[in-house]
Structure 1
Amino acid sequence: MKTTRCLHTTILVSDLDKAEQFYTQVLGLIKSSKRSLQFSGTWYQIGEHQLHLIVHPNYVSPIINQEKWGRNPHLALAVDNIQQAKVKLESQGYPIQMSASGRPALFTQDPDGNIIELSQI
């Protein structure tokens, strides 16, 4: 039997509108119409993989105030140009930490404090 290699990641959010704005307009992800939902949330297609946002109105990230975001659980996404991503995030007021290793990567937080790594590698 052949196994399909499609994985997904689930992220909790408290405000779906704010989260969708961040993931769609800021990060440029595309909503998936392939998956239906039986509860509030959104699916995004990322190559062969998917990101699933689930709404929980009282959700507060347990890692929102950690000093070094890269050491905490996070979603890593590939980008073509890290400097363009940095400028876009800064222009919209999102917090940024550059990778401490010197590689072309940065960390930011979505509106709910979930940590997102954007990396060119």
Structure 2
Amino acid sequence: AGSTADCRPAWARRVEARERYPEKPMIDVTRLHHVSFAVADLDASKKFFGELIGFKELDRPAFGFRGAWYAIGDRQLHLIEHEGAGREVTGRISRSDHMALEVKDLEQVREQLEAANIQYGRGSNDDLGFSQIFCSDPDGHTIEFVRYF
């Protein structure tokens, strides 16, 4: 009896999966607008995203709760201060609960993280042609930095 394991590369399986769906999606999404993270300590998160990573803070409407908005190119990151946020969140899985940022120089990212005493890990996805560095923001959200070969 032969094995039923699919030995094709991951990209080939993804292409086949895409072919199962109609050409035109039911909802015509044009692009991602923003990512939003709940944070326990807005000031610590602003230091991480504004000072360490260097995102430009945007004006934000005067909602009835604390928060901050940042530009990521022509997209946005919204931070929402919430008492229940933080590392105590159970069930967080870094491979699904994360934000990935494409960068020009992973070595510069490594140097900045080390200078700020932030622990990080490295990865590589040869099938897709990029290297990665992973770290956590002050609330434990995984931040992935990606550089294509």
In the superposition, the TM-score normalised over structure 1's length comes to 0.82
Secondary structure, aligned partner of 1:116: strand
Query: Larger Cα Rg: Structure 1 or Structure 2?
Result: 2
Give the deviation of 1:63 after TM superposition: 6.3
Runs of 5+ unmatched residues, structure 1: none
Matched, 1:110 2:137: yes
Other-structure match for 1:83: 107
Count of aligned positions: 115
The percentage of counterpart residues that share the same residue type is 32
Matches within 5 A, 1:24-103: 24-33=50-59, 35-38=60-63, 39-61=65-87, 62=89, 69=94, 71-101=95-125, 103=130
8 Å Cα contact 2:124/2:131 also seen in 1: no
* Relative contact order higher in (CA < 8 Å, ≥ 6 apart): 1
Cα-to-partner distance string for 1:58-110 (whole Å, 9 max, x where unaligned): 312436986xx4x2320011222100101110121111010143632111000
Query: Does the 8 Å contact 1:41/1:55 carry over to 2?
Result: yes
CA RMSD of aligned residues (A): 2.3
